[in-house]
Structure 1
Amino acid sequence: MRPGRYLLLLLGLWLALALVLSALRVAAPEYGGTLVAAWWACGAVLALGAIWDALACPPATAIEVVRVLPDNLALAVRNEAQLEVRNLGRWPIRLEVADDPPTHVDVPELPRQLVLAAGAQARLSYGIFPRRRGDAHFGRLWLRRYSPLALWEVRSRPGEVASVRVFPNFVAASRLAGMDLEREVGAIGVHLRQRRGDGMDFHQLREFRAGDALRQIDWKATARYRKPISREYQDERDQDILFLLDCGRRMRARDAALSHFDHALNALLLTAQVGLRQGDGVGLLTFAAAERGADVDGTRWLAPVKGAKALNQLVHQVYDLHSSTAASDYLEAAQGLLERHRKRALVILVSNVREEDADDLHAAATLLARRHRVVIASLREQALDERIGADPEGLDETLAVLGTLDYLRARERLLLELRQRGLSVIDTLPQQLHVELVAEYLRLKRSNAL
């Protein structure tokens, strides 16, 4: 128990009154005894009131507080949590409650004060904003109880410690569940060309429609039903998508709230969701990671999986993965992938490539392309685009713009060389990676290029 703000204020006033009375005793000594008696009487009333208020302060057992957290938290968005507060005593209680989040989680809507009548309960909703993926450990709650006259306050730590996982922002991916493919990809900004069943795998027989090719006609079924019957095909299924995810220092760049690595994870999950809906398997190999959960060589491997629980497996594989300060070795990563997976697959390398990577990247791409279809998705810093788009003022800014232009041209030359080798190359801002990646996957899928 500690003195409250009001008790300290009253004590200050009582002491200030002593100074005033001392001055009055000098000016009117005949009233000195009366003034001293009055001052001591005020002190006695204050002391008795403080003692009574301390004794009337509700005990810790009079308050029950339960924190309700979501099973998992999504990165950089509002996640709703709740506090259930109950007054078990027979008197109203004024209190203040706050959470104890880890350092990388913001809880701006707490602390909060409330008054509970005897036997009443309240449910407080508040937002949780994680700034980093991984495990988030919450300590016990902070509770401050006030005495009836608010002269005293008592602090306690009710509730239990709790741990939740902070996942990449999979909200967009979860919203796609239950949609058909066209609506699914349209929800994230990708628009498909209309086709009429010209994939590789046979799907079903149906009546001939205007626009069907003659090669689609099933002549035996046509003769049997005595009307034109077409074969309808669908995109080939049971293929593999392998993400080769760079976790090196290049991915630590940050244009806004999320780093390039976080944007890459979000795009990876969305593309994986679309691929799984297409019947393909999805796998992952990381490289240059130096976080808990990665292997000694900085890799984390998930063999291609499919089915209803495949996305959850992928999310649990990457939720606590972070970029490191290590240099990225593309050739070593390519060799590691070929050792782990021999079946032909679509390999999507997600990184931030630069001119100095040319030799290593060419060697890795050549090695992978012998067996797999390769897509290189390179993230571009938005700050560089903004720099060359601004009007320079002075010599230093002009030199900075010229240096940026030279860097970007060299980068474009490298990407052009990769395209000339027959590789699919995506060069985009981090915020648009998910759209470009899904569109390229579907383009390759529908052109039977996998």
Structure 2
Amino acid sequence: MLKFLRSLYFGKRLFNSLFAISILFLISFWFNPLYSFTWVLAVIILVLTILDIISLYRGRGIKADRSLPEKFSNSDLNSVKISIANNYGFRVYSEVIDEIPVQFQKRDFLKTIPLPAYSSNSFEYELKPLKRGEYTFGKLNIYISTPFKLAKRRFVFNKDQQVKVYPSFIQMKKLDFLALDQKISLHGIKRIRRIGHTMEFEQIKEYVRGDDVRTINWKATAKQGNLMVNQFQDERSQPVYSVIDCGRVMKMPFEGLSLLDYAINSSLAFSNVALKKKDKVGLLSFSNKIGHLQKASSKLSQLNLLMEALYKVDTGFHDTDYSLLYSRVKKHITHRSLLMLYTNFEHMTGLERQLPFLKALAKQHLVVVIFFENTEITKLTGINPSNISESAHQTVAEEFAHNKSLMAKELQRHGIQTILTKPEELSINTINKYLEIKSRGLL
């Protein structure tokens, strides 16, 4: 009996009818003939409600299921599929309320779907997580009503399903094509002119317009009777590391995503491209202590190892210890490598404190320092101030933006490669820099 009462609900149509009947009873106090009519109407509503309840509880009910992907991609839209099968011999109306994980703070989820007799239907909705970790879905509640919509029966399915949110593998797949030598044009991706001949020999091919005339193979040309050129490919099996600063400077959020998560998503996409280019990729995270060190490798399983490691990377409110980074790199990364260092500097004094360690790293490795534009401050530089307060804010914003440019120039002055980028353009700019370094043979 208790189970029956917990599953029984009444629709708005019933409450509206009861409200109308009560009004009619009130009016019948002055207009007596209406009193009998109102009683008849009340009995009809009562009988229809009882028949409605009997219809809902006599049938075999419905079946429903929530289908979740194996894992969610952070900062991307992920699909969740709901399937419903109607086992009643008549048309019903379903109201679907899914208990979405608390991280989304979405409490207004409701889908209404009509279901013909003995039919099934499905729909999908999308969720965009902004934090890595485990997400728990609660109950899938479905309220079924007949065409009268006087009563409802609740069905509960899929209790406590869990899904893990990993770094953005969707973004990684979107940028996967950049590993190909013949890249199609895309907004934000630039072509890199190859300089020098530090690449490995690949083959001899027929000359086409645009090939470097310095690569003409005169012996092969004499044999074939046509201009033939040597074709080179980038050097392979070079160690490349994503070095991620997990200190408090990476806690800053932009559009709901922290700088650390932007760096993690970018390093996964960049590592995938580097693996496709036959390089060895590794990972090093650090703050006031070394978090995770994954030695560089070109094995097929390396990308999965990196994804699992990046899933666990987290940031705190500690100051970053670059001296610890230098000592650990010197001890464990003995071969000259490309170090893509994801960090952030908001003031010149912050850069000056860490510059000696960056210079020391640059003597042994090719270091690329990647830090971020403060896009919220940059927006202030483009406004048209209407009062003294806005003018003062704009002046401070311009000073901050100018300091970012000065920091990039200071690093370049000491022979350290830099990327100053907007958070949302991080992956594209990082991969562009990597392709530039490969094409110029800097490593």
Whether TM-score is above 0.5 comes out as: yes
Matched, 1:444 2:413: no
Residues of 2 paired with 1:21 and 1:222: CA distance? 109
Partner in structure 2 of residue 81 of structure 1: 80
Contact 2:265 2:427 in 1 (8 A): yes
- The answer to whether the 8 Å contact 2:195/2:440 transfers is no
Q: CA deviation at 1:58?
A: 3.7
| Aligned-partner SS, 2:47 | helix
Tell me, in whole angstroms, the C-alpha distance in 2 between the residues paired with 1:4 and 1:225. Answer: 86
For residue 184 of structure 1, report the CA deviation from its aligned partner: 4.2
- The aligned counterpart of 2:361 is 368
Note the residue ranges of structure 1 that are not aligned, 5 or more in a row.
26-30, 290-296
Of the three residues 317, 327, 335, the one matched with 1:335 is 327
Identity across the alignment (%): 23
After TM superposition, the structure 1 = structure 2 runs for residues 45-444 of structure 1, keeping only pairs within 5 Å, are 45-58=44-57, 61-105=60-104, 110-147=109-146, 149-177=148-176, 181-184=180-183, 186-187=185-186, 189-193=188-192, 195=194, 198-204=197-203, 211-213=212-214, 232-288=231-287, 297=289, 299-319=291-311, 321-353=313-345, 354-444=347-437
Query: Quick check: which has more Rg, 1 or 2?
Result: 1
Answer whether contact 1:379 1:427 (CA < 8 A) is retained.
yes
Matched-pair contact (CA < 8 Å) for 1:133–1:321: no
3-state SS of the aligned residue for 2:355?
A: helix
Alignment partners' CA distance in 1, 2:403 and 2:204 = 52
Deviates more, 1:421-430 or 1:152-161: 152-161
What is the identity, as a one-letter code, of the residue corresponding to 1:175? Answer: K
Tell me which amino acid in the other structure corresponds to 1:372. H
Residues 274-293 of structure 1: CA deviation (Å, up to 9, x unaligned) = 2112211111112239xxxx
CA deviation map 1:199-231 (0-9, x unaligned): 3433345578885537x8597x89999999865
Identify if the C-alpha distance between structure 1 residues 352 and 17 changes in structure 2 by more than 3 Å, giving closer, same or farther: same
For residues 333-366 of structure 1, the C-alpha deviation after alignment (integer angstroms, 9 at most, x for no partner) is: 3333333322221111111113231343113202
Mapped pair 1:13 → 2:20: yes
1:257 to partner: Cα distance = 5.0
- Structure 1 length-normalised TM: 0.83
SS state at 2:282 partner: strand
Deviation for aligned residue 1:168: 3.5
Q: How high is the TM-score relative to the length of structure 2?
A: 0.84
Q: Deviations over 1:60-115 (max 9, x none)?
A: 95100012222333334433332211112333322211322112347799522222
Number of the residue aligned with 2:3: none
Post-superposition Cα deviations, 1:172-193, rounded to whole Å, max 9, x if no partner, equal 4313446762444744633334
Q: CA deviation at 1:196?
A: 9.2
Question: What runs of 5+ residues in structure 2 fail to find an aligned partner?
Answer: 1-7
Give the superposed CA RMSD.
3.4
Count matched residues. 433
